[in-house]
Amino acid sequence: MKVDNLNRLLIILISLISLSYWGCKPDELIIPKKISLSPIETGKYIIYHRLELNHDAFNSQTDTTNYWIKESIESSFLDQENDTAYRLQINHSNDEGLSWEFHHYAFIKEDDFGIERTDFDIKKVKLSFPVENNKRWDINMFNNQDAQYGYYIRIDEPFYTDNSVFDKTVAIKIADRQDIIFTQFEEEIYARGIGLIQRQFKDIETQPGKYKDGIEYTETLLQTNW
């Protein structure tokens, strides 16, 4: 190759690198791509059925409880950070939704980087954007509890409940530990365009030769107006 041609090639390469560099400003904020896993709209509600098992080592027995939870997006407001947030009214029922009793208010908001939910003054990052397999984040980054990491698994796979089929869902693994004494498990399933459709939780201790102690429950979507 002649020297002139070599110099010309070097100039072209340097020009391409320069264009690439200047095309992306160093202080430019890259906004992650969001997907509608937990839509927020005033007037929408979701009803869950909760099956709860309370294991009592002292009495060597397990109590089973069934109740229903209704989460209604009641209104919007500006929070202390001047962001639009939404008030969730949480009601409980012991008679399959024939009557409801107020339980508490929760608060939820969404920005370009995730969805935050506050229950009993404890704020948690329920979803983090973008949604990618094995992406991990600290759910407790905005409260004073110990770090607790969630990570995405099974993105856009179908999920089946007793009465529904959801074509595209995302699972979030929060805890998964099991040995001869402790069982700790927590997983949430979100469906596109609807939100949370199932939560599973286990925190059980089983000492050798003794009855297990702790709690486990499953909350499953039963009805919604999405």
HEC readout, 48-100: EEEEEEEEECCCCEEEEEEEEEEEEEEEEEECCCCCEEEEEEEEEECCCCCCC
Q: Whole-model pTM?
A: 0.82
Check if CATH label 1.10.287 holds for domain 3-224.
no
Least confident of 1-10, 37-46, 118-127, 176-185: 1-10
pLDDT tens figures, 191-222: 999 999 999 999 999 999 999 999 999 999 99
Instruction: Let me know: does 174 contact 200? Beta carbons within 8 Å.
Output: no
pLDDT tens figures, 116-165: 999 999 999 999 999 999 899 999 999 999 999 999 999 999 999 988 99
pLDDT for the residue numbered 18: 46
* CA-atom Rg of the chain in angstroms: 24
pLDDT for the residue numbered 100: 98
C-alpha–C-alpha distance, residues 33 and 212, integer Å: 44
pLDDT tens figures, 22-60: 444 555 555 455 567 888 999 999 999 999 999 999 999
* Residue in the block written with tokens 């979100």: 190
C-alpha–C-alpha distance, residues 171 and 86, integer Å: 24
> 7: which residues sit within 8 A by CB, 6+ positions away?
none
pLDDT for the residue numbered 64: 98
- Locate 145 and state its tokens: 């509890």
C-alpha–C-alpha distance, residues 169 and 48, integer Å: 17
Q: Which residue has the higher pLDDT, 111 or 87?
A: 87
Q: What is the DSSP string of the chain?
A: --HHHHHHHHHHHHHHHHHHHHTS-TTPPPPPPP--SS---TT-EEEEEEEEEEEETTTTEEEEEEEEEEEEEEEEEE-TTS-EEEEEEEEEESSTTSS-EEEEEEEEEEETTEEEEEETTEEEEEEESS--TT-EEETTTTSSSPP-EEEEEEEEEEEE-SS-EEEEEEEEEEEEEE-SSEEEEEEEEEETTTEEEEEEEEEEE--TTS--EEEEEEEEEEEE--
